[in-house]
Amino acid sequence: MITPLLRRALLSLAAVVAAAAAGACTERLDAGSACPSLCPGLSVPIKDTLLSPVVTFDTTLVGYPSVGSEEGIPLAWRGDTLDVRGVLRFDTLAPTFTPTGDTARPVTRADTAILRMRLNLTQSRLPDWVRFEVYDVDTTADDNDHAAVLSLFTPARLVTSRTLTRAQITDSLVFPLSSAWLLAKIQGNARVRFGLRLAASGPVSLRVHTTETSLPAEIRYYVSPDTAVHQVVTSLFSKTPLEPASLASDYRDYTVVARNALPAAGPLALSTGGVPARRAYLRFNVPSWLLDSTTIVRATLQLTQLPQRGFDAADSVTVIGQAVAATPLIKDLYRSSQILIAAGLFVTDSIRVAPADSGVRTLEMNGLLRVWKSAPDTSATAPQRAIVLLQREEGLHGAEVRFFNTHAPAAVLPKLRVSYIPRINFGVP
């Protein structure tokens, strides 16, 4: 829901963006260091400056995306360091069926029952073999009590499992279900809530499609030997939480982190990615003389990556920067980090790295500086002079990329390299 405050912020942003776009048209250069075509006889040098420190505040925010809104459940296992699981809820099992031309009858059989899931193997990591385990994790505990759910991943609660080689893992995965077990659930008007867990011969990560990707999991079974009676297909559905009602749809399928023992980032680093996912928020202070009295030719943010041990080159991910659209009136940083200008607009390029890498990484920000030039930082309706760093694959695996923050030594601080043309004043000397 768009609140009046958010609507005001977005309208103000639209005005600023329009002004920046118009300004960009008037500041176009013919080529290199040449002056605009109106003064072809004048050579204008392009100057260069390195701003450091330029980030006045930064922090790492945790908890993206919100529960149940993931574009796929990330299942991952990395020995004693990482264990990410998933939950699928089928809270409504039809107790009756109606044959063609007949009246409703109670379900007395559930033959050839299966659980079907679709996998997204893009950027997956598969070792020689993987065991997929499915548990009965139905509980009356609070929906946010993940510890209660995790406590039910026990041998006594194991419903079904499959062990597959790498070559056998495709984008569709079917688990056989006990007909007697499922029938007891149906006749008892009980819920079916499955917990998914991986084990493997080595580190493994993959994604299960969810309702957000329009390829959700489903339960299928036959209630009659009559071939005219179609197979029953049960879709994901959650009856809880009751308030707010809209939240129940988020809990149809969601991620739960059983273990994340990777070393903490520490006080000198910003983090992106991981599970639960992190975003880095950076607020800038660009000198007014640079914005008011120059033509920005190029502005490049320089970040120094801090290696995250426990990953290798096969775990490469993409880090992007997005400009914050929220105004200073929005004080909550977590909320501000979700009100963003579309990726690729004003903060261009991306950073494709492995978490274990190190070195200087760059993002182009010249378009964003034009936006800031068009809107004084004293305005309560102008966007915050800030960007958010996040992973394009946010919340989909455990890979975490870290950069040195404003508390790090001067050599590795975030920096902004700006190429510019000083303002030229025309007139009679």
Confidence category of residue 102, pLDDT binned at 50, 70, 90: confident
- Answer yes or no: is pLDDT of 15 > 70: no
* Structural domain contains residue 76: no
- Please tell me the predicted confidence (pLDDT) of residue 71: 81
* Structural domain contains residue 37: yes
Token pair, residue 24, equals 């960009």
- Please tell me the predicted confidence (pLDDT) of residue 155: 98
Angle between helices 4-26 and 366-374 (to 10 degrees): 110
From 39-43, 188-192, 318-322, 350-354, the region with the lowest mean pLDDT? 39-43
Confidence category of residue 39, pLDDT binned at 50, 70, 90: low
Note whether 59 and 102 are same-domain residues: no
* Structural domain contains residue 270: yes
Confidence category of residue 287, pLDDT binned at 50, 70, 90: very high
- Please tell me the predicted confidence (pLDDT) of residue 66: 78
- Please tell me the predicted confidence (pLDDT) of residue 228: 86
Note whether 181 and 199 are same-domain residues: yes
The percent of residues in the chain predicted with pLDDT above 90, rounded, is 63
Local structure of 159: helix, strand or coil: strand
Note whether 184 and 281 are same-domain residues: no
Note whether 111 and 178 are same-domain residues: yes
Note whether 359 and 416 are same-domain residues: yes
* Structural domain contains residue 427: no
- The neighbouring-strand residues paired with 134 are 160, 196
Cβ atoms of 240 and 143 closer than 8 Å: yes
Local structure of 233: helix, strand or coil: strand
d(Cα 43, Cα 157) in Å, to the nearest integer? Answer: 78
Q: Which helix (H) or strand (E) holds 174?
A: strand 172-176
- Answer yes or no: is pLDDT of 35 > 50: no
Rounded mean pLDDT, 53-79: 88
More confident residue, 212 or 55: 55
* Structural domain contains residue 390: yes
Confidence category of residue 29, pLDDT binned at 50, 70, 90: very low
* Structural domain contains residue 355: yes
Q: Which helix (H) or strand (E) holds 335?
A: helix 333-336
From 84-88, 184-188, 305-309, the region with the lowest mean pLDDT? 305-309
Cβ burial 363-385 (10 Å sphere, 16+ → b, else e): bebbbbbbbbbbbeeeeeebbbb
d(Cα 320, Cα 316) in Å, to the nearest integer? Answer: 13
Note whether 298 and 309 are same-domain residues: yes
Rounded mean pLDDT, 189-218: 94
- Please tell me the predicted confidence (pLDDT) of residue 132: 98
Rounded mean pLDDT, 372-399: 84
- Answer yes or no: is pLDDT of 3 > 60: no
* Structural domain contains residue 70: no
> Which residue range(s) make up the domain with 214?
82-260
Note whether 251 and 277 are same-domain residues: no
> No. of H helices and E strands in the chain?
7, 24
Burial of 189 (0-12, 13-18, 19+ CB in 10 A): exposed
Confidence category of residue 12, pLDDT binned at 50, 70, 90: low
Note whether 237 and 108 are same-domain residues: yes
Note whether 122 and 193 are same-domain residues: yes
- Please tell me the predicted confidence (pLDDT) of residue 243: 83
- Answer yes or no: is pLDDT of 213 > 60: yes
Note whether 246 and 322 are same-domain residues: no
- The neighbouring-strand residues paired with 217 are none
Rounded mean pLDDT, 182-190: 97
In whole numbers, what is the pLDDT of the chain averaged over residues? 87
Cβ atoms of 226 and 99 closer than 8 Å: yes
Token pair, residue 324, equals 């914050």
Q: Last residue of some domain: 260, 282, 307? A: 260
Note whether 279 and 415 are same-domain residues: yes
From 115-129, 134-148, 251-265, 323-337, the region with the lowest mean pLDDT? 251-265
Tens of pLDDT, residues 304-320: 999 987 666 667 889 99
Domain count, the chain: 2
Note whether 55 and 132 are same-domain residues: no
* Structural domain contains residue 413: yes
Burial of 54 (0-12, 13-18, 19+ CB in 10 A): buried
Token pair, residue 123, equals 């950027």
Local structure of 24: helix, strand or coil: helix
Rounded mean pLDDT, 323-348: 93
